[in-house]
Structure 1
């Protein structure tokens, strides 16, 4: 496989993950409502920082997660997402369209992209299963192969999240305050649901045996 082919493979595989609804997409929508189209690239930067750390670990030889770490990841990630969602819900009731363009601690997109990535258990599971296998395959062409694959992967994230934030930014001019707040509430509820799902899922086997 050539370097361009590896980059294309990384792009299309990355796109399938980026297109799937998840906490990072919700963070992109929420940030775009507050600060505009630049939230997409900035959320992606936070996501890339998280993935860069994992890529380093895998390249260094850590290619699997100990089974005992699964519940810890799910609990930590679930609680983080629930907290993130609750903060969104608390701020939605007083949110004003006139405040759009003003960045605050709750809407820092780089942090949002990083937090929603590392708090998503599926993020870890994918990278230490399918992702690690793909990275090792790309290393058949050396460091250049790994760089080609991961850059293609990140271009998919950047393209999709930027497209989403641009769409949200352009639609803000026709949003009423009520609809604007409703979108924020939906984002907050979605994050809470993701968090609860992760916590419940990891505890489901034990609950079924009670």
Structure 2
């Protein structure tokens, strides 16, 4: 029983360590929550989890070996990087024109959760190929399918808990001070731009 239960905190803290790092998904949740309130976090996570379920099914089908190919990994990384730069640039122009809105916040939060866990954030599928699936195999080797289920429960609990908290705190700030909302949007734009540049540099053939 201990071998099963220990997988819950392992899955929780592994997921939390990734969620706490500023990234496209966190930037989207922050920006969207300033406009539509505290319910955004959980809805975005549902889209995020939908992508992860598909990734897991594909990994089980053996596509992980294909995704791990260096050329495909580079293509996915560069595509995501350029898209993030495009979004950040467009949003920056909107902020300068005093239209305080990040361009992609027009998406429904579920759709945003899907996009920012896939094409706008290629690190998510690559993380599952390189790290997540290996950890699931370890959980399976220790506690079979019960260990895998426990690990996933902890993993998803971290995602729901963290992004729900972020959404709640941001929406509360929005209700209190409009300047905080604008500052957060600017920070989100910078994060998206830096992450886009990072992906382009990382996966460029020149480096």
Shorter-normalised TM-score: what interval?
0.7 to 0.9
Of residues 138-147 and 12-21 in structure 1, the stretch that sits farther from structure 2 once superposed is 138-147
CA distance in 1 between partners of 2:20 and 2:188 (Å): 16
| Structure 1 residue runs without a partner (length 5+) | 97-103
Write out per-residue CA displacement over residues 149-205 of structure 1, whole angstroms, 9 at most, x where no aligned residue: 1121011011011111111111112213x54333223212321221122112211xx
- Partners of 1:180 and 1:151 in 2: how far apart? 33
Contact 1:87 1:188 in 2 (8 A): no
Check the 8 A contact 2:47/2:114 in 1, yes or no: yes
SS of structure 2 residue aligned to 1:20: coil
User: Alpha-carbon deviation of 1:108?
Assistant: 2.2
Aligned partner of 2:100 in structure 1 is 95
1:201 and 1:63 map into 2 onto residues whose CA distance is 21
Aligned with 1:157 (options 156, 159, 162): 159
Does the CA-based 8 Å contact 2:173-2:181 persist in structure 1? no
Residues 31 and 107, structure 1, Cα contact 8 Å, conserved in 2: no
Q: Which runs of 5+ in 2 are unaligned?
A: none
For 1:79 and 1:149, locate their aligned partners in 2 and report how far apart those are by CA, in whole Å: 33
1:124 corresponds in structure 2 to: 125
Aligned length: 198
User: Cα distance 1:72–1:129, how it changes in 2: closer, same or farther (>3 A)?
Assistant: same
1:170 matched residue in structure 2:
172
**2:22 and 2:191 in contact (8 A); partners too:** no
Alpha-carbon distance change, 17 to 105 in structure 1, aligned in 2, over 3 angstroms: closer
Moved more, 134-143 or 154-163: 134-143
Equivalent residues of 1:86, 1:192 under 8 A apart: yes
Q: Give the structure 1 partner of residue 50 of structure 2.
A: 49
Whether the 8 Å CA contact 2:29–2:44 is kept in 1: the answer is yes
Q: Contact 2:12–2:156 at 8 Å: present in 1 too? A: yes
Indicate if the aligned counterparts of 2:174 and 2:180 stay in contact, CA closer than 8 A: no
